[in-house]
Amino acid sequence: MGNLSTPISVQKLQTALHAKAKAEAGYRFYALYDKIYREDVLAHAYAQCRSNRGAPGVDRQDFAAVEAYGVQRWLGELALALRQESYRPEPIRRVFIPKANGKLRPLGISTLRDRVCMTAAMLMLEPIFEADLPSEQYAYRPGRNAQQAVIEVEERLHRGQTDVVDADLADYFGSIPHAELMLSLARRIVDRRVLHLIQMWLECPAEETD
């Protein structure tokens, strides 16, 4: 997510979560929710979203509007809503992007408020689930890229591992069964408030506003 460096305080928290998950494969985390609305975590989540830019959601609020309002004030109100458990996500704005083959690809755009909240949750969850992933998995992982995957494939070919499966999953993320996803999360997370957050995001309706 851009070239932002993670603040030391957030790094320490992520390192502790990862170390605990790595040391105890069966450990289930029960006190994560309050870390999502920590001031440093939300501030870093906002900075990451800001660096990614992106279009506004259904409320049409953009970064310029947030900065005119006051970022600290805006983040403070989000933290309060999370702490009081009054936070509710907005519907997802759906737009259609033309593909090279002439078809349209649907794209869901969350509001800035929801994106910041999701990013804060990701900052806490990613170190935990990273501990469970095999070393040869490269997709959608921090610090890993396609070039590294190609190098590993070459090394395996040189070792005589020549069987290859070529697969392309259509609409993978849009077709993940939510119930099974929540069960997978619950394998590591027992904090009901975190699970409720994720469930709300999964159930967000989409609105075609354009």
What pTM value is reported for the model?
A: 0.87
User: Is residue 168 domain-resident?
Assistant: no
Residue span of the structural domain in which 22 resides: 8-137+189-207
pLDDT, tens digit (0-9, with 9 covering 90-100), for 1-19: 334 789 999 999 999 999 9
**pLDDT per residue over 147-161, tens digit each?**
887 888 888 888 888
Answer yes or no: is 24 within a domain. Answer: yes
Is a pLDDT exceeding 80 seen at residue 134?
no
Residue 63: φ, ψ to 5°: -65, -35
Q: Which residue has the tokens 């800001």?
A: 50
Indicate whether 91 belongs to any domain: yes
Total number of domains constituting the chain: 1
Q: Report if residue 106 sits inside a domain.
A: yes
Answer yes or no: is pLDDT of 166 > 90. no
Interval 64-98: pLDDT, tens: 999 999 999 999 999 999 999 999 999 999 998 88
Task: Name the residue with higher pLDDT: 163 or 108.
Answer: 108
Question: HSE (CB half, 13 Å, CA atoms) of 199?
Answer: 13
Q: Is residue 18 part of a domain?
A: yes
Residue 123 clears pLDDT 60, i.e. is over it: yes
